Structure 1
Amino acid sequence: MGRLLSCLLVACLSLSAVAADAIKGERKEVFGDTTVHYSTFISTFLTPETAKATELVRSKNQGVINVSVIKAGKPVVTQVNGTVKDLTSNSVPLKFKQITEQGAIYYIAQFPVEQQETRTFTINVGVNGKTETISFNQELFPGE
């Protein structure tokens, strides 16, 4: 199980790093000595085994957001919540769950992706005793 979760984290960060570097650079926010990394993708990028191990729905119409918080080079346990809005300002709360394994802690949530569109994400993360907010837009494409 730990090996599958490690694969999920590496796959998510690798996919997002390649896509983000190609589009706008690395997806991260720095708050003092703490860095919040984040990525979004359609859940069909997950292998069936990884989706099962993390209890995620693997579907062309389900997106995933992955958030990790690093302080002084080590993963941090924190609070993460947020919302995702579509172009009509319909808002969906993101229900994050913490995934912990050796050497990694990350937070994942799923959200519906019915059609190609740009979504606005607002993520609240506990950092150094206070809540920091990250907002970003991401164009999403349902899978085939």
Structure 2
Amino acid sequence: MRRLALLLMCLCLSFPVLAADAASGERKAVFGDVTVHYSAFTSSMLQPAIAASTGLDRSKNQGVLNVAVIKTGKPAMAVVSGTVKDLTGRASPLSFRQIIDQGSVYYIAQFKIDQAQTLIFDLNVETGGVSHPLSFNQQVFPGE
């Protein structure tokens, strides 16, 4: 009986995560042979050493947007730019930095998280002289 209760509790706690993944699908956009993977999270989730090595501020009120570009199955260089805005339309530019780590290429930018809210990310990913616009919404929460 105790195992059953533990299993039910775990399922209840994981359901919102599973529902969010089902609703949003995989966090990627495909443009022909170019695939753009993206994720946004609170920077307080980063290990201190990783935050320091990438020059990111670790804070419960700072988010990180991580973008990776894959072209024909291999990491690709790109120019990534964009803005983040709240539902009232107040926009802030995103300043991306390139991180190269063990053959992988990432583009990271930080943004403020003042409160639990839905943010709209409008990005432009340019690779090989071709621009790929990308827009997505994500609910964010200040960290612990």
3-state SS of the aligned residue for 2:123? strand
Q: Considering only aligned residues, what root-mean-square deviation do their CA atoms show, in Å?
A: 1.5
Percentage of matched positions with identical amino acids: 58
Shift of 1:65: 0.2
Q: Is the 8 A contact 1:20 1:26 kept in 2?
A: no
In 2, Cα distance between the equivalents of 1:23 and 1:57?
30
Q: Which residue of 2 aligns with 1:13?
A: none
The question of 1:143 aligning with 2:140 is answered: no
Task: Show the counterpart of 2:82.
Answer: 82
Amino acid paired to 1:87: L
Q: Read off the aligned partner of 2:102 and give its amino acid letter.
A: Q
TM-score normalised to structure 2 length: 0.83
Post-superposition Cα deviations, 1:84-135, rounded to whole Å, max 9, x if no partner, equal 0012211110000000122200100000000000000001001342111100
Question: Given the superposition, is the C-alpha separation of residues 19 and 122 from structure 1 closer, same or farther in structure 2, using an over 3 Å criterion?
Answer: farther
CA contact (8 A) 1:42 1:142 kept: yes
Point out the structure with max Rg over C-alpha.
2
Q: CA deviation at 1:72?
A: 1.5
Q: What residue number does 1:122 align with?
A: 122
Q: Structure 1, unaligned stretches of length 5 or more? A: 1-17
Paired residues of 1:29 and 1:36 also in contact (CA < 8 A): yes
Spell out the pairing of 1:13-52 with structure 2 (5 A cutoff).
21-52=21-52
Instruction: Sort the Cα spacing of 1:25 and 1:77 in 2 relative to 1 into closer, same or farther, 3 A.
Output: same
Deviations 1:24-48 (A, max 9, x none): 2101011111100000000011001
Please report how far the alpha carbon of residue 20 of structure 1 lies from its aligned counterpart in structure 2 after TM superposition: 6.1
- Deviation, 1:19, is 8.7
1:133 aligns with 2:129: no
Contact 2:77 2:127 in 1 (8 A): no
Residues 1:19 and 1:79: Cα distance change in structure 2 (over 3 Å): farther
For 1:51 and 1:22, the matched residues in 2 are separated by: 29
- The 4+ residue runs of structure 1 with deviation greater than 6 A are none
For residues 35-77 of structure 1, give each alpha carbon's deviation from its aligned partner in whole angstroms, at most 9, with x where no partner exists: 0000000001100110000000000000000000001111111
User: Which position in structure 2 is the counterpart of 1:110?
Assistant: 110
Q: Tell me the distance in 1 between the aligned counterparts of 2:34 and 2:116.
A: 33
